[in-house]
């Protein structure tokens, strides 16, 4: 029965398991465009849900959507030195339009800070023009060598927020506000027990003064950077000559931020929650919450099925009825691959006894309920909440079981070499210690979670300034 | 007072008027990326409204959204001969990723038929897999030499529907269904009195058997092709080797369609409805339906303003209150530039007499109403409907005044040279006659509106097959 799935075991070969899941559950497909993916309707519906929730929240907080060009002329990209150094090695260059060589080559945007800065310079003249709180949903391109669906692709669907403010305080507040929006969204909707903190200087965004990051830990203990919020200070504004007249008619330089999340979050979802039977989707983000599988002759089921369908619609529960002529076992397996949170087994025999069976996708637990449709709906709504919470807690528990703290370097290296997960250490803040860790263990810093006033750096023994997590990353 | 606008007169210089409008009303801005535009928040909000209405309708009709790669490898683009011949001269080529030359160059998609076909070939195996009704919202690139905001840009935001069917009848039905969706949307929401018909073979889409087009006539009598729906037959399927097993286990070739509309429709909106005072937006598509302009001291107005705001929210009417310290006259002018359908002048003096003044943007007519908020809301809702209908009728009247019918070639040439608008003729269906018209008058065929059984071709005098419109185009 289960051979329909052909999914590699997660504990045997995690990478192959992931590839099987995204393909078999119809989230993505490949094309002759190497390094890019086709996001199929089922995968795109997850992205549409993510977009719809975040877009509402962005707008509620006063942000406006707009659309910048997808190309950046080389001279514009070159305007901020650190920024271009970070991105130039991986951009796609257009040198020819039709049959003609362009006067100046242009790259497909790897991110749009330079375009926003050029625009700000034109539209920001006075304190009255500030703040500008902008966002765009678009596709960016980074010409990666090794790619994996959702996690690292040459084309990335994302949103990039860009804001400009009169004061440092306002810009810092915005940076932290959107950082919190991301953290809450990932915890409450994606059921991801993320760790939020600040990137070290070595790992921060090219051109930022500070980068705040959402770090999710995958089932295999490897980190996924799942969203960042950057405080730019005045760096970009100075490079681009953006100024405004304040209330006293004095020329001032404004402060900027940017923040983004991408379809990578879908990869994070999968690698946190799914299992050997297929996808497991948190109810709040699942495109289809309920799959109904009729078992028995259509005539026997007709009335109940109609009644159920009407109630699902009336209660705004997205659903699907599998009316194909496949066997029930085959349909169950397919429903598991697709990760619909709740399966309703509508059996003619059960109905005679006034029963309906519900199955939770996350635990595969069977729940017998009365066939009274109002009660079915009530149970479904309760179950969806429980599944959402349980998925978060299960992921939290697993994550916690892979969090370590090392008090000396030998211990650190020992854990790093033998145990998957994140390791917390005290750190002096010097890049040399970070580099040594990477050389010795391949681990990179994930994020700084707190400042400390005592203790010693786990690497060099000097005075510690921070607690910081290290881990392997996707 | 009105110098805030600096809008060129529409009747003096239509092209400059258009450029002034899109810029002064904050719809778009330019960047150093030539030929592309920045769609600013006010312009993007119009696009978001268009997307939201059409997307719901597409989904209601069973279509699913997905996302294809934005790049097409050269060998894939080359697979359908007519198609590549139509698009290759204007695509942007990426030849380098980072510092490395690509093994095969890729173009940024000018349209995605080839990618969809390659995908269909993989996922369509049996009649059970048909139909596939797909759509994607994305950006395409056509490296145009002469560009104008919304009308012709190197980057175009659009949607492209792609469907594949078991039978010719189904595919033809889909082609016509989506054609009708476009026509209804443009009439009912954009208030555009469009002419719908079939393109001649000379003007049809590269690779299509038949192209159905929505032709809008601008204020200056020039045509804007504002959306197309294509019937492909089996041409693409044969070039790509797409086949399926039918119910009798026989190998069959499926039938395809594609259909698209773009941000160009926003250009059509502007060039049909707007005037020398600025934008005029149909209420059903306007991001902000009501602008409230307080006149008098804030204390005197406070209570009524609050009451009004609560009612606007409760009645789901999008609004904006201009609380700046500019003069009322200045605010009126600005509101006119932005094209908000209704302006509420909330005057302290009027309030003493229990009056409020409403101003229609389309006619600038002032309407005095009781200051009772329920009545104000009732009047607003009624007015929004009236404005929508009046705008359509006004545009229809103007369009009808520029529709001509020519019964012989001399008459045709005379109208073509002296009068803006569309000219209907009887036509034999031969491309030579179409070419002669273009040579003699620069006019191109817009669309075939009916088949005829008698009469003579206006150009060659042979038997006529069609009635067809000719006109200049953007």
Å between B258 CA and nearest CA of chain A: 17
End-of-domain residue from the set A273, A302, A322: A273
* One domain, residues B336 and B435: no
* One domain, residues A155 and A183: yes
Averaged pLDDT, A456-460? 96
- Look up the CATH number of the domain holding residue A114: 3.30.930.10
CB–CB of B75 and A155 under 8 A?
no
- In whole angstroms, what is the distance from residue A309 CA to residue B397 CA? 48
Direct distance between the N- and C-terminal alpha carbons of chain A, in angstroms, rounded to an integer: 34
pLDDT of residue B53: 98
* One domain, residues A408 and A333: no
* One domain, residues B60 and B32: yes
Q: How confident is the model at residue B54 (pLDDT cuts 50, 70, 90)?
A: very high
Q: How confident is the model at residue B124 (pLDDT cuts 50, 70, 90)?
A: very high
Please indicate, yes or no, if residue B343 is contained in any of the structural domains.
yes
End-of-domain residue from the set A387, A416, A441: A387
Dig out the tokens for B57 from the structure: 């309708």
Averaged pLDDT, B60-81? 95
What is the gyration radius of the CA atoms in chain A, in angstroms? 25
Helices B264-273, B41-60: axis angle to 10 degrees equals 110
Is the pLDDT at B1 greater than 50, yes or no? no
Å between A460 CA and nearest CA of chain B: 37
Contacting residues of A for B157, CB less than 8 Å apart: 67
Is the pLDDT at B158 greater than 50, yes or no? yes
Largest CA distance in chain B: 82
* One domain, residues B175 and B314: no
* One domain, residues B204 and B247: yes
Please indicate, yes or no, if residue B218 is contained in any of the structural domains.
yes
- Per-residue pLDDT of A276-291, as tens digits, reads 999 999 999 999 999 9
pLDDT of residue A444: 97
CB–CB of B68 and A38 under 8 A?
yes
Average pLDDT taken over every residue of chain B:
96
Please indicate, yes or no, if residue A415 is contained in any of the structural domains.
yes
* One domain, residues B28 and B138: yes
Averaged pLDDT, A378-386? 98
ipTM of the complex: 0.95
- Look up the CATH number of the domain holding residue B453: 3.30.110.30
Best residue of B27, B30, B31 to probe chain A, by most A CBs closer than 10 Å: B31
CB–CB of A89 and B98 under 8 A?
yes
Please indicate, yes or no, if residue B279 is contained in any of the structural domains.
no
Contacting residues of A for B154, CB less than 8 Å apart: 71, 97
Averaged pLDDT, A377-392? 98
Q: A70: which residues sit within 8 A by CB, 6+ positions away?
A: A108, A109, A138, A139, B36, B108, B139, B141, B155
Evaluated on CA atoms B306, B309, B314, B315, the torsion sign reads positive
Residue A261 near chain B (CB below 8 Å):
no
Please indicate, yes or no, if residue B67 is contained in any of the structural domains.
yes
Residue A140 near chain B (CB below 8 Å):
no
- Per-residue pLDDT of A244-261, as tens digits, reads 999 999 999 999 999 999
Residue B356 to residues B297, B301, B333, B366, B440, Cα–Cα distance (Å): 16, 12, 19, 10, 58
How many domains does chain A fold into?
3
Please spell the DSSP secondary structure of A230-271, one letter per residue. EEEETHHHHHHT--EE-TTS-EE--EEEEEEEETHHHHHHHH
Domain that holds residue A368: 290-387
Best residue of B38, B60, B161 to probe chain A, by most A CBs closer than 10 Å: B38
Is the pLDDT at B2 greater than 90, yes or no? no
CA B86 to chain centre: 22
Please indicate, yes or no, if residue A77 is contained in any of the structural domains.
no
Q: Is A10 helix (H, G, I), strand (E, B) or coil?
A: coil
pLDDT of residue B3: 47
A119 vs B31, B75, B92: nearest CB: B31
Averaged pLDDT, B148-154? 95
Best residue of B25, B44, B45, B66 to probe chain A, by most A CBs closer than 10 Å: B66
Q: How much of chain A is in helix, strand and coil states, percent to nearest 5?
A: 40, 30, 30
* One domain, residues A258 and A311: no
Residue B333 near chain A (CB below 8 Å):
no
- Per-residue pLDDT of B213-266, as tens digits, reads 999 999 999 999 999 999 999 999 999 999 999 999 999 999 999 999 999 999
- In whole angstroms, what is the distance from residue A113 CA to residue A90 CA? 16
Residue B418 near chain A (CB below 8 Å):
no
pLDDT of residue A139: 97
End-of-domain residue from the set B350, B383, B416: B383
pLDDT of residue A5: 56
- In whole angstroms, what is the distance from residue A249 CA to residue A442 CA? 53
- Residue spans of alpha helices (H) in A315-430: 328-338, 348-352, 373-400, 409-418
Dig out the tokens for B49 from the structure: 């409204």
What proportion of chain A, given as a percentage, has pLDDT over 90? 94
Q: A226: which residues sit within 8 A by CB, 6+ positions away?
A: A182, A186, A192, A194, A214, A215, A216, A261, A264, A265, A268
- In whole angstroms, what is the distance from residue B111 CA to residue B141 CA? 8
Direct distance between the N- and C-terminal alpha carbons of chain B, in angstroms, rounded to an integer: 34
Nearest to A421 by CA among A285, A222, A201: A222
Average pLDDT taken over every residue of chain A:
96
Nearest to B132 by CA among B82, B52, B68: B68
Question: Within a 10 A sphere around the Cβ of B19, how many other Cβ atoms?
Answer: 16
Residue A146 near chain B (CB below 8 Å):
no
Residue A313 near chain B (CB below 8 Å):
no
Please indicate, yes or no, if residue B186 is contained in any of the structural domains.
yes
* One domain, residues B243 and B269: yes
- Look up the CATH number of the domain holding residue B296: 3.40.50.800
* One domain, residues A159 and A234: yes
* One domain, residues A420 and A319: no
* One domain, residues A206 and A301: no
Question: Within a 10 A sphere around the Cβ of B216, how many other Cβ atoms?
Answer: 26
Cis-peptide, bond into residue B366, ω within 30° of zero: no
Q: Is A403 helix (H, G, I), strand (E, B) or coil?
A: strand
**Chain B 74-133, residues with CB within 8 Å of chain A CB atoms:** 75-76, 88-99, 106, 108, 115, 118-119, 122-123
Please indicate, yes or no, if residue A194 is contained in any of the structural domains.
yes
CB–CB of B33 and A76 under 8 A?
yes
CB–CB of B97 and A88 under 8 A?
no
């Amino acid at each position: 029965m289960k051979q329909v799935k052909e999914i590699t075991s997660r504990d045997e070969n995690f990478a192959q398991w992931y590839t099987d899941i995204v393909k078999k559950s119809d989230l993505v497909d490949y094309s002759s465009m190497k390094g890019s993916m086709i996001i199929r309707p089922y995968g795109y519906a997850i992205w549409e849900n993510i977009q719809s929730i975040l877009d509402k929240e962005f707008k509620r907080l006063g942000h406006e959507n707009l659309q910048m060009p997808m190309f950046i002329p080389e001279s514009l990209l070159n305007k901020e030195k650190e920024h271009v150094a970070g991105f130039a090695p991986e951009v796609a260059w257009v040198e020819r339009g039709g049959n003609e060589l362009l006067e100046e080559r242009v790259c497909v945007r790897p991110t749009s800070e330079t375009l926003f800065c050029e625009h700000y310079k034109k539209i920001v003249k006075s304190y009255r023009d500030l703040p500008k709180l902008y966002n765009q949903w678009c596709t960016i391109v980074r010409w990666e060598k090794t790619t994996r669906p959702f996690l690292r692709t040459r084309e990335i669907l994302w949103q990039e927020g860009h804001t400009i403010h009169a004061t440092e305080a306002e810009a810092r507040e915005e940076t932290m506000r959107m950082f919190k929006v991301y953290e809450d969204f990932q915890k409450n909707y994606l059921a991801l027990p993320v760790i939020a903190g600040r990137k070290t200087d070595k790992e921060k965004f090219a051109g930022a003064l500070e980068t705040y990051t959402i770090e999710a830990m995958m089932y295999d203990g490897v980190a996924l950077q799942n969203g960042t919020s950057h405080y730019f200070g005045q760096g970009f504004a100075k490079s681009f000559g953006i100024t405004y007249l304040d209330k006293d008619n004095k020329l001032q330089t404004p402060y900027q931020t940017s923040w983004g999340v991408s379809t990578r979050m879908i990869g994070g979802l999968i690698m946190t929650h799914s299992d050997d039977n297929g996808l497991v989707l948190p109810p709040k983000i699942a495109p289809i919450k309920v799959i109904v599988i009729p078992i028995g002759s259509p005539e026997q089921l007709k009335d109940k099925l109609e009644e159920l369908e009407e109630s699902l619609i009336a209660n705004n529960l997205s659903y699907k009825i599998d009316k194909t002529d496949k066997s029930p076992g085959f349909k169950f397996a397919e429903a598991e691959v697709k990760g619909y949170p709740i399966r309703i087994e509508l059996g003619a025999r059960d109905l005679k006894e006034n029963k309906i069976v519900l199955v939770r996708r996350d635990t595969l637990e069977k729940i017998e309920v009365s066939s009274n449709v109002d009660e079915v709906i009530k149970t479904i709504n309760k179950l969806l909440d429980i599944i959402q919470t349980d998925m978060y807690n299960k992921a939290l528990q697993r994550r916690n079981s892979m969090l370590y703290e090392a008090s000396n370097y030998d211990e650190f290296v020992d854990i790093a070499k033998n145990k998957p997960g994140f390791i917390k250490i005290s750190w002096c803040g010097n890049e040399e210690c970070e580099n040594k860790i990477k050389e010795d263990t391949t681990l990179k810093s994930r994020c700084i979670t707190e400042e400390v006033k005592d203790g010693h750096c786990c690497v060099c023994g000097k005075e510690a300034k921070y607690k910081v997590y290290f881990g392997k990353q996707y």
